[in-house]
Amino acid sequence: MNFLGYARPDGTVGVRNQLLVLPTVVCAARVADLIAARVPGAISVPHPYGCALDPGNNEDTTRILIGTGANPNVGAVVVVSLGCETVDAERVVREIAAHGKPAELVRIQERGGTKRAAEVGAGVAARLRADLAGAGRGAAPLSKLIVGVECGASDGQSGLSANPVTGVAADLLVKAGATVVFSETTECLGAEHLLALQAETPEIGRQIVAVVRRVESELERGAGSDLNDITPGNVAGGLSTIEEKSLGCIRKAGTAPIREVIAYGERPSRTGLILMDTPGQDLESVTALVAGGAQIVVFTTGRGTPTGAAAAPVLKVCSNTPTFQRLRDDLDLDAGTVLSGQETLAEAGERLFREIVAVASGKPVAAELGGHYEFAVRRGGSACIVY
Amino acid sequence: MAGEVRLLVVDPRDNVGTTLSPAAAGDSLVLVGAVESPPAPRLVALTDLPAGHKAALAALPSGGEVRKYGAVIGLATEPIAPGELVHVHNLKSARGKGHVPGREEEA
């Protein structure tokens, strides 16, 4: 089966053709916003990171910025730097450009401040936009698709409807040759024995158990605090423990063999079902999936969330009909139908699969219509706080 | 008059089910999912149960394993009667911050 996408020089295929304005540091966020505001269709990615980070966080932030710019959905990038930050802006530009796409650098200190940098940046952005406008969609096989699956603002019904429905769609995607990446290591806690059995090899199974053990030791450091391992919204929605949340959560990955465990923001080297080692905070996880090359993220929710992602459409699947109706503008698909008996899991999963292919071919999702382009990078200690 | 609410059982090994709509104490809970039918087994809700919340399918002893999805989701902190709400007030995680030291050694 095919979708209609934008062929990129590095062999990947975008489902969108975005012009991204990417600040390397919080100090450049305002200028990035000003540049994007002057060029129709440009998307700025303001964020609070980029400087005075410890080496681990600095490298994480740098890799995530590069991965976001390199995502197949991005046609061209304007990188906005202050000029003295610890993230290496030239490296960001160089490694995005290595994917064969235009990436240009605007430095605020070099250009003489906000106003001048915004003017220069808007000129660069307008030129890149004009080049992008000539590109058209062409047929591409589903094997070119990387789909992230994520859950957030979960409730007691997420694991009974939206997640297993997404699991059916994930199985159909893998069967069609696509890659499906699930994440949130914290939400494998209590379900790792099942995931290890689902691993393609015993070695991959051991890797899964090892990353879950690491996260659990991080969580134990927070023992005695008032923070639970699940959010107040999860509890209000009927979830009682991290084990219950995890066992429902993993159902969205489907039943295919797990073929690889990859690091935060890393691109999969294989097709099929992949686990990315991320924190449980939704946006820190979604951002890493997108930086790892996911062109679409399927996001299940029970309580409802409006979130999107900087460089990829986020297709939201709701676990129950009352929430779907209440947050109708923010959500795309109602999986509450499987609880009311209107649809079987297989039918709803097939419907979601067709919707994913439609979104890949250009159908906008609710998050895009709402202007949601969130971006968040994990921080050291992410796992220890409430999620 | 008491109503009827469906209670979804995911796996035959489970000892809790999940409400598919809100139930009031006294409502009849009709078990659906991984249960033999017909006739559908029934329970009476002992407490109010919001949608997506769990009710015990059988009497659960204090300290006993609570099972959903065919796996352990935590330990009961007090005896729980059939039809009673199972949630954070009487169910505790055995993992993460709730990790019980030495648990692997006992297992």
Number of neighbouring beta carbons within 10 Å of residue A241: 30
- B73 touching chain A per CB within 8 A: yes
Residue of B nearest to A251 (CA): B69
On whether the CB atoms of residues A162 and A268 are closer than 8 A, the answer is: no
Strands (E), chain B: 4-9, 16-19, 28-33, 42-44, 54-56, 65-68, 71-76, 85-86, 91-92
- B99 touching chain A per CB within 8 A: yes
Q: Quote the minimal CA–CA distance from B52 to chain A in Å.
A: 4
Residue A31 CA: distances (Å) to CA of A168, A275, A347: 43, 36, 47
Distance of CA B69 to the CA centre of its chain: 11
Q: Which tokens is B90 given?
A: 């009487």
Query: Among A95-109, A277-291, B87-101, which is the least confidently predicted range?
Result: B87-101
The number of CA neighbours under 13 Å toward the Cβ of B34 is: 15
pLDDT per position as a tens digit, B3-14:
899 999 999 999
Residue of A nearest to B88 (CA): A240
Would the pLDDT of A385 be above 90? Answer: no
On whether the CB atoms of residues A174 and A256 are closer than 8 A, the answer is: yes
Give the closest residue to A305 by CA, choosing from A293, A313, A314.
A314
Give chain B's count of helices (H) and strands (E): 1, 9
pLDDT at A217: 86
Query: At what angle are helices A55-70 and A89-97 packed, to 10 degrees?
Result: 30
The number of CA neighbours under 13 Å toward the Cβ of A26 is: 7
Instruction: Provide ipTM, 2 decimals.
Output: 0.90
pLDDT at B60: 97
Most B CBs within 10 Å, among A244, A324, A385, to test the B interface: A244
On whether the CB atoms of residues A50 and A24 are closer than 8 A, the answer is: yes
Q: Which tokens is B69 given?
A: 């999805």
pLDDT per position as a tens digit, A179-207:
999 999 999 999 999 999 999 999 999 99
Distance (Å, rounded) from C-alpha A384 to C-alpha A113? Answer: 39
- Model confidence at B107, pLDDT cuts 50, 70, 90, reads very low
- B95 touching chain A per CB within 8 A: yes
A220 to B88: CB separation less than 8 angstroms, yes or no: no
How many residues appear in chain B? 107
Chain B residues whose CB is inside 8 A of the A243 CB are 71-74, 93-95
pLDDT at A387: 44
Residue A52 CA: distances (Å) to CA of A142, A361, A375: 41, 41, 19
Give the closest residue to A88 by CA, choosing from A105, A73, A101.
A105
Residue A295 CA: distances (Å) to CA of A61, A118, A255, A333, A361: 20, 29, 21, 19, 11
pLDDT at B103: 44
The pTM assigned to this predicted structure is 0.94
Give chain A's count of helices (H) and strands (E): 15, 14
Query: At what angle are helices A345-360 and A162-175 packed, to 10 degrees?
Result: 60
Distance (Å, rounded) from C-alpha A255 to C-alpha A382? Answer: 29
Chain A residues whose CB is inside 8 A of the B96 CB are 186, 189, 216, 219-220, 229, 242
Residue of B nearest to A225 (CA): B97
Would the pLDDT of A301 be above 50? Answer: yes
B97 to A222: CB separation less than 8 angstroms, yes or no: yes
* Percent of chain A residues topping a pLDDT of 90: 89
